[in-house]
Structures are given as structure tokens and as C-alpha cells.
């Protein structure tokens, strides 16, 4: 059965700030109906001047919880007085994931939307 998926990739100014953001995301996910966590982590990108990259990739059991998290993430990046200064660049996408369906389709063919990018 297809699942609503939400993905975020962001360049964060420091590893400590990335850790703080990850902890905040974990707190926001409490009580949400998550089907699968693919990634919620950070890494130092040696190919990009050692920038700290945060990756969030989750599938949810329903669109309501995915959309709640999507709205919260967008608000953090755009409006949070501190977090928005830590985020150097970000891309937030959503789609309907068919990886567990009988017929698997490319993500870009399943309601793929770039929600936010800067």
C-alpha cells in the first residue's frame, strides 16, 4: 500500500545545531503514525567543503501526520527566530511512496512536490 513520504535535506551551520534540530524533530514525531524511518541523521559532506548535512526521510501511515510534520518543518526553517539562522540551505519534498506496492513507480511520478527550497 502506498505511503505518504516526506524528505528534507538541509545544510546546517554546525554539528551541534544539527543535533539540536534532530532532537526537536524527534520530539515533534511523538504521537505521529510513522510507517518507516529511512533516515534522521547528519553527516559532514567532504565533497561540499565539510558542510554539515541533515537528512530527514520518513514514510507515514497517513497524510494528516505527514502534512503536520511538513508544516512544522517549514515553520521552523522560515519563522523560528533561531533555527532559521542555522539553516544555510534546505529542500523539502513530499510524494506518495509506492515501494511496497505490487507496481512500484518512480517517486517523481507519484504526486512528487517540492514544498520548499532555498
Domain encompassing residue 72? 3-117
Per-residue cell: 97: 511512496
**SS3 label, residue 2:** coil
Decide if 53 contacts 11 (C-beta within 8 A).
Answer: yes
d(CA 48, CA 62): 35
pTM for this one?
A: 0.90
What's the whole-number average pLDDT of the chain? 92
**Tally of structural domains, the chain:** 1
Residue 95 has pLDDT above 90, yes or no: no
Is the pLDDT at 33 greater than 80? The verdict is yes
Q: Indicate the pLDDT class of residue 97, thresholds 50, 70 and 90.
A: confident
Give 109's contacts (C-beta < 8 A, 6+ positions apart): none
Q: Examine the pLDDT at 107 and tell me if it is beyond 70.
A: no
Q: Residues of 61-79 as b/e, b for ≥16 C-beta within 10 angstroms?
A: eeeebbebbbebbeebbee
Look up the CATH number of the domain holding residue 72: 3.30.70.100
Helices (H), the chain: 15-29, 63-79, 83-86
Whether pLDDT at 99 is above 90: no
pLDDT at 116: 84
Answer yes or no: are the C-beta atoms of 110 and 88 closer than 8 Å: no
Q: What is the percent of the chain where pLDDT is above 70?
A: 93
**pLDDT class for 53, splitting at 50, 70, 90?**
very high
91: pLDDT confidence band, cut at 50, 70 and 90? Answer: very high
Amino acid at each position: 500500500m502506498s505511503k505518504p513520504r516526506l524528505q528534507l535535506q538541509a545544510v546546517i551551520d554546525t554539528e551541534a545545531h544539527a543535533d539540536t534540530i534532530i532532537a526537536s524533530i524527534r520530539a515533534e514525531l511523538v504521537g505521529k503514525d510513522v510507517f518507516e524511518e529511512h533516515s534522521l541523521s547528519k553527516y559532514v559532506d567532504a565533497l561540499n567543503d565539510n558542510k554539515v548535512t541533515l537528512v530527514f526521510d520518513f514514510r507515514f501511515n497517513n497524510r494528516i501526520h505527514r502534512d503536520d510534520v511538513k508544516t512544522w518543518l517549514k515553520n521552523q526553517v522560515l519563522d523560528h527566530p533561531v533555527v532559521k539562522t542555522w539553516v544555510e540551505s534546505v529542500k523539502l519534498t513530499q510524494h506518495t511512496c509506492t515501494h511496497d506496492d505490487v507496481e512500484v513507480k518512480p517517486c517523481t511520478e507519484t504526486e512528487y512536490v517540492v514544498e520548499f527550497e532555498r
